[in-house]
Amino acid sequence: MSYDPFQTQVSIAVLAVGLYVVIVSAMSCCGWRQLARNYSAELKPSGPTFRNVSGWITLLGSYRHALTVVSSLTGVYVETPWFVFFHRPLLFPWRCVSAIDRRAGILTPYTGVTISAGGHRFRLRLPERAAAEFLSHAALGS
């Protein structure tokens, strides 16, 4: 039996793609898909954009430094540039924002935003500078 390096490389690539699909599918079943039924966004709104944001829906539905969040007049837009095929962008109206507060992190302070929608609590961890922006929009939307 001879060693074929091409076959090994193809096997590794197929395994990596398969593992990616399994992980992303499992994550999408943990809240994102349910939220997308009622809160999917057709277009990305304009407004201050925050990249590399972390967010949690459930233990398996966590997105560490994988979200892009836009604070717009229409609401809070959330997308996952890393998982674009399995996660449609979301747009939550400001009435879904249940808490905005500044918190002390281990190394740096941050802004915590909690969105209550579709029976889920979606927690976002944004830069500290996002607090004023989110508080001004939330006051207008309530």
List alpha helices for 1-142, DSSP H.
5-27, 33-39, 130-141
Task: For residue 131, give the nearest of 109, 108, 106 by alpha carbon.
Answer: 109
CATH number of 36-141: 2.30.29.30
Region of 59 (left: φ > 0; alpha: ψ -120 to 50; beta: rest) is alpha
89-99, pLDDT tens digit by residue? 999 999 999 99
Q: Break the chain into its structural domains and give their ranges.
A: 36-141
48-105, pLDDT tens digit by residue? 999 999 999 876 678 899 999 999 999 999 999 877 667 899 999 999 999 999 988 8
C-alpha span between 47 and 18 (Å, rounded)? 36
Rounded to two decimals, the pTM is 0.77
